[in-house]
Structure 1
């Protein structure tokens, strides 16, 4: 795909996101938008409808820009991650699920005989990632199995990692945009051109604290980015990336990403860039 075509896809993603946000703003003021309303970290009212907008725009444009062998996989991971993420956004807000957060919370719920909304989301994204691995399999035998494991892990792990960053306005969007921009090159780069544009289209509303990406938006765009990482050449490179994603995910159970970012020069300024004061 030519640079001009990728730029066109990015523009299409941004336009689709902006049109979706206009519709979300109209819905937010109505009763139908009530289940998506939240209060953010600063006590300001926001809507989670930015998530479905981003998920739809990113998935459609990813499928349009992906190489032929990855189009179906892009549709599967973007759609499923968005749907189960949206379910977690709505069902996970129920009072009885308030403590079912993080891997430890989901496991605790299972020990109590309950299936948390987060566990449903994890299972759904994991299944979609496995399907994507089958749809994009390379060769056969042990090598194909290893590639399948890497693809499954990168799609599911990156979906979760981007969602873990969605704790401050614009944080997950900035990370997703940077990763998409860094992987625009190569034969599979068209896969992330549209999601890059869609993310940038939603980012201003996210930074102004009008919308949040929520699980729906963050998981969907993260899954698509993971699919792009899984298309990188070199099994060692992909294994290294999966190791980084896994390490960060496990660290999040013990360490606050917000505390680390706030105490790190450079990351702190990037995180606050464009954001309203708390």
Structure 2
């Protein structure tokens, strides 16, 4: 096993361990009442939301502990992950009953001076993405593109989180190839892959769900890894794909909300 392979394996295992430890701790000592962390999924089955904070903190801890990630990249990724997870937690805990769907509905509310849960996520995750991009890249164009990729990937993972295993599977599928890259990009990919792998079984067996907290946090971590491993051409392609996915998802959300 090469040094790079050992480093990637250590990053994945570190994220797995941190995620499982946080989830076990929350199950034993749930913040507030245990019922606060319970939801009914699409089948009406009661599941817990512990996977969300656990994956967010597990991914952030793995990045922070990695010796292969430079300080600026660590700061950028941890910022993006915790901010995205925090915005998702606001939606999970405070504003989960907002009936409005799609970016357009929330942007319309913002224009009228109303802050919705979707507005909080759009503004908060967008700002965190741009801040992370400013740390990860040099030059205005690359920094803006990086911000779009980080925020866009966070929204993408949340967009596919409609059935058990889909968001986790997306993170694993998109993150696994990044493990083959050298330097910081591969080390950063290890964090969301390990955190997602830690909750995969329970997610598939309908015992837990990521919620907006985990989906946004894992997506932001994945986005930071993508940014680190790509130059301008790659950033443009990823940004274009993510904007297209967001536009298509917005139409689907609005159609579902109208049905």
State the TM-score, normalizing by the size of structure 2. Answer: 0.89
Corresponding position of 1:192: 189
Which stretch of structure 1 is more off in the superposition, 206-215 or 231-240?
231-240
Q: Partners of 1:115 and 1:162 in 2: how far apart?
A: 23
Contact 1:63–1:191 (8 Å) recurs in 2:
no
Q: Partners of 1:233 and 1:252 in 2: how far apart?
A: 25
Deviations 1:233-277 (A, max 9, x none): 331121011111111110112247xx9xxxxxxxxxxxxxxxxxx
Contact 2:102–2:251 (8 Å) recurs in 1:
no
Which stretch of structure 1 is more off in the superposition, 186-195 or 219-228?
186-195
Corresponding position of 1:52: 53
Contact 1:100–1:109 (8 Å) recurs in 2:
no
Structure 1 counterpart SS, 2:39: strand
Ranges in structure 1 where 5+ consecutive residues have no aligned partner: 139-143, 260-278
How many positions carry a matched residue from both structures?
248
Structure 2 counterpart SS, 1:100: coil
Corresponding position of 1:79: 82
Q: Partners of 1:9 and 1:52 in 2: how far apart?
A: 19
CA shift for structure 1 position 111: 4.6
Which stretch of structure 1 is more off in the superposition, 9-18 or 196-205?
9-18
CA shift for structure 1 position 27: 4.5
CA shift for structure 1 position 61: 0.5
Structure 2 counterpart SS, 1:253: helix
Corresponding position of 2:94: 91
Which of 12, 24, 36 is residue 22 of structure 1 equivalent to? 24
Contact 2:18–2:61 (8 Å) recurs in 1:
no
Deviations 1:104-151 (A, max 9, x none): 22124335542101211221111111111222232xxxxx11101111
Contact 1:176–1:222 (8 Å) recurs in 2:
yes
Structure 2 counterpart SS, 1:38: strand
Deviations 1:174-233 (A, max 9, x none): 100111111111222101213211110011111111111011101011011111111123
